[in-house]
Amino acid sequence: MTPLEAHQTLTDSEIFQNWQKDHSQTYLSHFYCQLDVDFKQKSPWDIGFYDPKTDKIAVFKIDSEITLLPEDKAFKKQGEVEELKMDQVTVDFPQALEIFQKTKEEHHSSEILLNGFLILQKYQEKTMWNISFATKSLSILNIKIDATNQEVISHQSVNFINQNAAPGKAS
C-alpha cells in the first residue's frame, strides 16, 4: 500500500472521521513504516496528525484494521511540526527507494544494510523522504530525498560506537 492509498483508506474510515470531529485543528504530519533489508515494507503505515494546541501527535496504524494509538508528545527540537501536504509529494514510495539505493551505492557502497525505516514528512520547509537503515558496521545510514523533485538533500553514515558522522551534501 502506498502512502497515498493508506491516507485515503484512513480518511474514508469511520474511526478517523469520528476522531476528526473533535480534532479539527490537527493536520497531517508524517507517514512512517519499517523496511526490511530488501526494501520491502515490514510494518503497516503509521500516519501522524499534529495538534498545535496540545503539541501532541495522534498516530493511526493502517493495517487490516485501523487503530488509533495514544497521543504522544511531538518529537521535535522546537516550534511546531510542519504540515505535510500530500499534493506536494510527486516522488512516490518506489522512486524514493530507488534514489536511496542509487545514492547508497554511489556514496556508501561498503555499507551492508540491515533493517530500516522511512518517514515521509515536511521538515525545515522541505517535503522529504527520510530513510534510515542500520548497517553491519554498527552505523546508521540516513538519506533524505526531496519528495517534490527527487533531489538528494543529504546522506550520512553515523557510527554507533564513536558517534562520528560522515556527512554528505548533495551537489
Distance CA 4, CA 80 (A): 24
For residue 27, the enclosing domain spans 3-86
CATH classification at residue 106: 3.10.450.40
Please state the domain count of the chain: 2
What is the H or E stretch that residue 61 is in? Answer: strand 56-62
pTM of the complete model: 0.90
Which is higher by pLDDT, 160 or 98? 98
Choose the final residue of a domain: 86, 106, 133.
86
Residue 164 above 70 pLDDT?
no
What pLDDT is attached to residue 150? 96
Beta bridge partners of 155: 143, 168
- 57-71 average pLDDT score: 95
C-alpha cell at 139: 552505523
**For residue 113, what are the CA distances in angstroms to 39, 116, 128, 130?**
10, 8, 21, 16
3-state DSSP assignment of residue 86: helix
Give the pLDDT confidence of 38-61 residue by residue, as tens digits. 999 999 999 999 999 999 999 999
Q: Across-strand partners of 129?
A: 120, 145
